[in-house]
Amino acid sequence: MSEESATVAVTGETPSDLEDVDISVDPENLQRLNPRVQLIWMVGVLITAVFFGAIATGIAWYLEYPFVQVGLGVGGAMFIIGIPYTIIRYRVWRFAVREDSLYLQRGVFVKVQTVVPYVRIQHVDTTRTPLERLTSLATSVIYTAGSRGADVNIPGLEPDRARALQERLKDLANVSGQDDAV
């Protein structure tokens, strides 16, 4: 077939260029979120559990099953699974303000690492939902011109830390960015 001639391929070997890339992450530099963020996430889990519990109750009622037990069972099970999920989620969440990029790693089921170069930062928002205000926390949202730029946010920061981060990122973006990057 002609396609073989067009695409010469090697299998599974590390390209030589990749071999001398330093991927060691200095654990000293990695920051964690404030543990109170678990409370916020737990409320989210609770709302989800109640929502699906209610749907299950409705379906059970329609099918003439014992709906109270089904609803409590489904909602309760979701909540119980949600507790370790939240704790693990908090434990694996890390970010680092590196020399020329912001680095994030997170995710329980899907582990995601992100590198956001300061040159690419368009602006940084600090947002606080009512629940975050109650727990005195904030979220930093980092925007780039990328098609999925708004995906980068750091929750569970103390307001001072969020503001400091916003300032720092703004300064770093300023010194390195002079082009509109598009």
Partner 1 sequence: MKLSPLTIPFRVFEMVLGLGSIGIFVIIGATAVLDVDGVLIASLATLVIISVLGVSIGYSIAYYRRFDYELTSDTFDVHSGVFARRDREIPYYRIQNVSISRNIIHRLLGIAEVRVETAGGDTAEVHLRFVSQQESSRLQQEITERKRDEPADTTKEPGTTEVVEHGDTLFVISPSELALLGVVSFDMRLVAFVIALAIFLDPGTMADLLVAVPMIVMAPAAIIAIYIIGAAVSGIVAVTNYWDFRLVRLSDELRFDRGLLRQFSGSIPLKKVQSMTITENVLARQFGYARLLIETASFAPGEASGSQTAIPIATRERVTNLAQSIEAFDHPTFTRPPRRARRRYFFRYIGLAFILTGVMYGVDSSGLFDLEWYWTLGLLVLTPIAAHLKWVNLGYTVQDDYVITMAGFWSRRLTIVPYHRMQTVFTRQNIFQRRRHLATVRIDTAGSRSLRGQDAVALDIDADDATSLMELVHDRMQQQIEVTEPQFTWLNELDTST
| Interface with partner 1 (CB under 8 A) | 1-3, 6-15, 17-19, 21-23, 100-101, 107, 109-117, 119-120, 144-149, 152, 174-176, 178-182
As measured in angstroms, the least distance from the Cβ of 46 to partner 1 is: 25
Would you give the end-to-end CA distance of the chain in angstroms? 39
Nearer to partner 1, 13 or 26 (CB): 13
Report the distance separating Cα 54 and Cα 74, nearest Å: 9
Nearer to partner 1, 89 or 120 (CB): 120
Q: Whose Cβ is closer to partner 1: residue 17's or residue 26's?
A: 17
Q: How far is the CB of 136 from partner 1 (least distance, A)?
A: 29
Cβ nearer to partner 1, comparing 1 with 63: 1
Q: Whose structure tokens read 């930062």?
A: 121
Question: Pairing mode, if any, of strands 138-144 and 94-97?
Answer: unpaired
Measured from the CB of residue 21, what is the shortest distance to partner 1 in angstroms? 4
Residue of 136, 123, 141 whose CA lies nearest to 181: 123
Amino acid (one-letter) located at 76: G
Nearer to partner 1, 152 or 157 (CB): 152
Least distance in Å: CB of 131 to partner 1? 28
- Alpha carbons within 13 angstroms on the beta-carbon side of residue 162 total 23
Rg, C-alpha atoms of the chain: 22
The least distance separating partner 1 from the CB of residue 36, rounded to whole angstroms, comes to 27
Pick from 110, 56, 47: which is nearest to 79 by CA?
A: 47
Please tell me what DSSP assigns to residue 13: P
